[in-house]
A and B are shown apart, each in its own frame.
Chain A
Amino acid sequence: MTQLSEDKLLERATHGDREAFGALYEHHVGRIYNYIYYRTGNTSDAEDLTERVFYRALRHIGNYNDRGLPFSAWLYRIAHNLVANWYRDNSRRKEFPLDDAVFRPRQYDHPEREILKSEEQERLLLEIRRLPPDRQQLLILKFVEHLSNAEIGRVMGRTEGAIKSLYHRTLLVMREEMVNEPTINITNNDEIKDY
């Protein structure tokens, strides 16, 4: 979808055109779902919150104010608020099921190596969830949505330089957290023998 056509759709949607809103929905539902999925960690909550995001967007689209930011920034803000409410409501729940899709091994490797890799990935994902929301959003936009720093800056309302700096600081914090929690790793010299 080009920016021009999105602008036109947006204009029509703000005047109550449901079909235009439907087209915008189809274009953005995937990325909003992805964002929520990685923030909450499970598909059922991701579906529930995605639904709420778009209902809220539909209710307030008439008041949408184009401030030169992409429409997705508005949707991300709604999603961000709803996820924050979700965290507040579920504050007693500390751990999340890390379900499907994410840890599916791409190709067959040694089973034990796969287990170790999977554990390492789970830890890394938990580290991501411990980050402040803006840093989580940054990582999701960068790695899941493959947006450039400039695009992330537009979505998050920051400059490209600020995003670069935030990203670097995030990596440093994550590395520090991972270093502080030693884990079992396979050394280069130790080969796992086949059974």
Chain B
Amino acid sequence: MEPKQGYTVIPYQYNLQELESNLRVILQPVVPTPDFVADLKKSLLRYPRWKLALPGMLKSIMLVSAGFFSGVIILVTGIRAIVTILGTFKILRQIKTQVSKKQLSATQTGVLSV
């Protein structure tokens, strides 16, 4: 690159000490404004206690309600499963009865025809 008047384009040739000293220059402590510090302190000290307890309360309410609804869902599902099983048994028994009745009638018909 062509050198400009009074300047030359050169790559950075930092050594670590130079880098450290530049960091020291750049990273200076900054001070928040006294108004900000005072106002925030005031509002922290006045922050209502019930609001502090709110996240804990919400958490407890959420846990209890989640437990309750899970319990209800498990109970309902269990009852439905039992009802379904009982229903299936009933159907099976009915089928079995019908089959045996048919067999019986077929046997009787056979005997009569003989």
Q: Chain A residues in contact with chain B, CB under 8 A?
A: 16, 18-19, 21-22, 25-26, 29-30, 33-34, 37-38, 43, 46-47, 50-51, 54-55, 58-59, 62, 101-102, 120-121, 124-125, 128, 139-140, 143-145, 171-172, 174-175, 178-179, 181-187, 190, 192-193
Contact = CB atoms under 8 A, between A and B. Distances in A.
A179 B11 contact: yes
A18 B45 contact: yes
9 closest residue pairs by CB, A with B: A143-B27, A182-B11, A178-B12, A33-B32, A187-B8, A179-B12, A175-B14, A144-B27, A101-B30
Contacts of B26: 102, 121, 124-125, 128, 143
A124 B23 contact: yes
Q: What size tier do the contact residues of chain B reach?
A: 20 to 34
A29 B47 CA distance: 17
A171 to B, nearest CB: 5
A13 B99 CA distance: 80
A59 B27 contact: no
Contacts of B22: 120-121, 124
18 contacts: A19-B45, A101-B28, A101-B30, A139-B23, A144-B28, A144-B30, A171-B19, A171-B20, A175-B14, A175-B16, A178-B14, A178-B19, A182-B9, A184-B4, A185-B8, A186-B6, A186-B7, A190-B6
A175 B45 CA distance: 46
Given A43-B30, A128-B26, A182-B11, 4 more contacts: A29-B32, A29-B40, A101-B30, A124-B26
Contacts of B28: 101-102, 144
Contacts of A30: 29, 31-32
A193 B6 CA distance: 9
Contact of B27 (A18, A38, A47, A179): A38
Nearest to B11: A182
A58 B52 contact: yes
A37 to B, nearest CB: 5
B45 A29 contact: no
Contacts of A186: 6-8
B41 A26 contact: yes
Nearest to B38: A26
B63 interface: no
Contacts of B47: 55, 58
B25 A121 contact: yes
Interface in B56-113: none
A27 to B, nearest CB: 11
A50 B27 contact: no
A179 B31 CA distance: 32
Contact of A29 (B8, B10, B37, B49): B37
